[in-house]
Amino acid sequence: MKNLIAPHGSDSLKPLYIEDSSERNSLIKASENMPHLLLNSAAAANAVMLGAGYFTPLDGYMDKKNATSVSENMITSDGLFWPVPIINLSKNIDGINVGDEIALLDPNVEGNPVLAIQKVSAIEKLSSEEVESMADKIFGTTDKEHPGVANFLSLGNNLISGKIKVLNFSYFPKEFPGTFATAPEIREMLSKARWSTTVAFQTRNPMHRAHEELCKMALDRINADGVLIHMTLGKLKAGDIPGDIRNAAIAKMVEIYFPENTVIISGFGFDMLYAGPREALLHAVFRQNAGCTHLIVGRDHAGVGDYYGPFEAQEIFESDVVKNSLKLKIFSADHTAYSKKLNEVVMMRDVKDHSKEDFVLLSGTKVREMLSNGEELPQEFARKEVAEILMKYYQSL
């Protein structure tokens, strides 16, 4: 069996999900008599990622000292590289005290069942200036038009830190059966496939021809065994395509257009932050934890609007703290598009003699408009079988 890349900052994965069903059931029972805290979606997503081993080697929510150190310098107070604070910020701390074990309730599942148990090690009040400063470091802006910033500034000012025990994976296994997977499960898939060099492709959208060819380029140039198409299954921004539609479209593309045993399609339970360079680093950390050796980082990776330079998310990997901490490497990509001159999909930076008119380029708005009107997308832009799935969705709206 080929050896997989080591997890980040640890010899082994540290999923915080309680595997033992009798222990889990007794914790659920005990939670009925604990103080309750209804989480926001961001804190719930952090719990799911901690439970699933993606945030190895963290053991819970960070305190103010660690959250500040991570937002400012990308390292925890004990020297672990970490790009984004993993925190439980709350508006309401009524009835919660330091030393308590508290039941963390899931905001995203009907009836708000208990998602995790937290041992409260500290409750610290952050000033609005401190929350804003943290947002500025994570997102590179405090502009409330930025969806990630707007969400972060709405979470509250009470930082509740401490270790957690995770009792379920929220709505993800039920809504995305066969797609949602934990980091240990993905490592198992890679081992079974006998892949030791795996490139991860991050997506929150269906994949068009350009994405398909980008994955094939990475496979070829890295000489990888396979590609993990790894989808964000959590909360997206308005207008993004729902997970089940995206899932069906990607599965169809892989089935028809990729060689057998070169693709694993999976997904993780996290909300998009739209934090550009910092989020690219977080994507790299948890792909290493899932056993991937490489991550495709494209133009404006995890960005939104015009908040980040086109290649900032690649450049941040050149910093010393990153190079000295991550074992995973990135595959730096430019936009890919179909060249009318060459009759193939190319990386735009590789064809210096092309002008914009030489490519088949469609904006997201134009694609949505065409699909809504039942118009076929150009074959150079999208595979027919993929476009049909998307058209059906848009026409149902």
Sign of CA dihedral 41, 43, 48, 49: positive
- Could you tell me the CA-to-CA distances from 56 to 69, 144, 317, 331, 382 in Å, in that order? 18, 31, 20, 23, 37
Q: Which residue has the tokens 């001159």?
A: 341
| Choice among 205, 261, 289, 299 that is catalytic | 205
Alpha-helix residue ranges (DSSP H) falling in 169-318? 172-175, 183-193, 209-222, 243-257, 277-289, 312-315
287 annotated active-site: no
Kind of pairing between the strands at 114-119 and 294-297 = unpaired
383 annotated active-site: no
Q: Which residue has the tokens 């005990």?
A: 30
Q: What is the C-alpha separation between 163 and 281, in angstroms, rounded? A: 23
In a 13 Å sphere around the CA of 187, the CA atoms on its Cβ side amount to 21
Kind of pairing between the strands at 336-339 and 359-360 = antiparallel
Q: What is the C-alpha separation between 261 and 66, in angstroms, rounded? A: 41
Q: What is the C-alpha separation between 4 and 20, in angstroms, rounded? A: 26
Q: What is the C-alpha separation between 104 and 92, in angstroms, rounded? A: 12
| Choice among 112, 157, 204, 368 that is catalytic | 204
Q: Catalytic positions, please? A: 204-205
